[in-house]
A and B are shown apart, each in its own frame.
Chain A
Amino acid sequence: AQKITQTQPGMFVQEKEAVTLDCTYDTSDPSYGLFWYKQPSSGEMIFLIYQGSYDQQNATEGRYSLNFQKARKSANLVISASQLGDSAMYFCAMRESYNQGGKLIFGQGTELSVKP
């Protein structure tokens, strides 16, 4: 069963506007962590933001914020004031506490295109 689901294969956003990238997850573990990574066309993987399942507040890092809705098992990434350099693939990932190996599972990704 897919543990991480990103239902938007591709998205467009106008420069300077905000955009939300969806991520839903499936786990029975009460303790888990959620990550977002960015992959520009150059291919490197860049860590953006982290949210723990017990964190009381939604994570924020500069223009990135995470809309964490635990009951709905969703962890959507919000990018405010989009820039052309935000055009990239974005991946959601999860690590569960029960797994001693620190297994990190990724979703299918969303390709974001920012229009000038």
Chain B
Amino acid sequence: DAGITQSPRHKVTETGTPVTLRCHQTENHRYMYWYRQDPGHGLRLIHYSYGVKDTDKGEVSDGYSVSRSKTEDFLLTLESATSSQTSVYFCAISESGMLNTEAFFGQGTRLTVV
């Protein structure tokens, strides 16, 4: 199994509070991704990174920011959590951005904003 750890695995937070989710990998893969999964929407890309300090927005980036200061860690921050950000968040990693390179996923983080 790819060495990807998401923390925390579960979190309940209040509206308006900041929240940071962490993705840690031991594979030394260059590419990292944050997705959210919601019923009827599948997996939607929030932000992704193609190297240390190189990040870009995905389809649903509003209300989220990311940072990648070292290869192994990719942080997703909800600056001021809202109920619409209640979701399951998945981190994924990929060795390269080449077309045929599969992505490996973490176990997911279930976030509830009350």
Taking beta carbons and an 8 Å cutoff, which residues of A are in contact with B?
Answer: 6, 9, 31-33, 35, 43-45, 47, 50, 52-53, 91, 93, 95, 97, 99-109
Contact = CB atoms under 8 A, between A and B. Distances in A.
B27 to A, nearest CB: 14
Contact of B45 (A33, A97, A105): A105
Nearest to A111: B39
Contacts, number: 71
B92 A104 contact: yes
B102 interface: yes
Main secondary structure of the interface of B (DSSP, over half): strand
Interface of B: 31, 33, 35, 40-45, 48-50, 54, 56, 58-59, 88, 90, 92, 94, 96-105, 107-108
Given A104-B45, A107-B42, A108-B42, A31 B102 contact: no
Main secondary structure of the interface of A (DSSP, over half): loop
Nearest to A106: B43
